[in-house]
Amino acid sequence: MRAAQSVTQRLEDYWLGLRLQDMDIPAIHLVKENYVDDSSPLMSEAVENYLSIKGNDDRTFIRAAKRNGEYVVKALGNRPITSYVTSEAAEFRDWCLDKGMSINSVKRVFASVRSIINLNIREYGLDGFNAFAGTYMPHQSDAPKRQPIPIDILKVIQKRCQSTDDEARLLVGLISDTGMRLSEAAGLSKDDVYLDEDVPHVEIKPHSWRRLKTTGSHRKVPLVGVSLWAVRRAYGANNSPFLFPKYCDE
């Protein structure tokens, strides 16, 4: 289905070209062959414009925008953003899939590229359209699903964390019985820890040194088993305001 869609789009563009060749266009002889008069920014420039306008200083956001723009440049060339055509967007989709990306990753790349081009078109009043706006995305149900770590292996990891008992192992121990993200655990301050409550817990909340992935990530996580042991050990292991000062500072 993906190959058929790509071939169909290319044929449509080819047939359109043939129809245009037969049209009687006044003064067509004055148009230079392969001439493109396009004042829109190059893809690399569009990315920089996008980041400047957005003003988002989040490193993950910046890295993703630059990476996705570089993907387009590698696959299709660093050209004016309104010079890309829909058939090339389909080629870009196939290029991403051939690189081993899952269909969900490809959709995220396209969402980023669409946003970059759309913002430049609106902000600078450009003529043209976004070739990446309506690209067909095949449905893939065979994407690999993440599997949890087997309980027997998890117990081995926890025992080794307790026997080694250093900051790295305390961090792993905390994650092992809570399921929180690595950045959430590493970014904890001691003010986020509540060991004297009826239910010992940590509060995951945004800080200036560590943002949360989503607003719903703000939550309280109970401490049990190895995670409770790890937080108690880490809390008294240093005089830093951070629970894991080796991995987090202001």
Same domain, 117 and 180: no
Number of domains in the chain: 2
In a domain, 144, yes or no: no
Same domain, 14 and 118: yes
For residue 232, what pLDDT is reported? 95
Owning domain of residue 105:
2-124
What's the CATH number where 89 sits?
Answer: 1.10.150
For residue 142, what pLDDT is reported? 58
In the predicted model, residues of the chain with pLDDT beneath 50 are 34-37
In a domain, 40, yes or no: yes
In a domain, 189, yes or no: yes
Strands 193-194 and 201-204: antiparallel
For residue 244, what pLDDT is reported? 95
For residue 228, what pLDDT is reported? 96
Q: For the whole prediction, is pTM greater than 0.95?
A: no
The identity of residue 176, as a single letter, is S
Q: Which of 92, 89, 108, 104 is nearest to 142 (CA)?
A: 104
Same domain, 91 and 192: no
Residue 225: count of CB within 10 angstroms of its CB: 12
Same domain, 119 and 177: no
In a domain, 172, yes or no: yes
In a domain, 224, yes or no: yes
Question: Where is the domain boundary, 107, 124, 141?
Answer: 124
Residue that the structure tokens 């067909």 belong to: 136
Residue 242: beta bridge partners?
189
- What's phi and psi for 202, nearest 5 deg? -120, 150
In a domain, 85, yes or no: yes
Let me know: does 151 contact 139? Beta carbons within 8 Å.
no
Same domain, 55 and 167: no
Gap between the Cα atoms of 110 and 132, Å rounded: 7
For residue 90, what pLDDT is reported? 94
In a domain, 115, yes or no: yes
Gap between the Cα atoms of 35 and 53, Å rounded: 31
For residue 35, what pLDDT is reported? 45
In a domain, 46, yes or no: yes
Cβ-based neighbours of 32, under 8 Å, separated by 6 or more: none
Same domain, 91 and 8: yes
Same domain, 17 and 94: yes
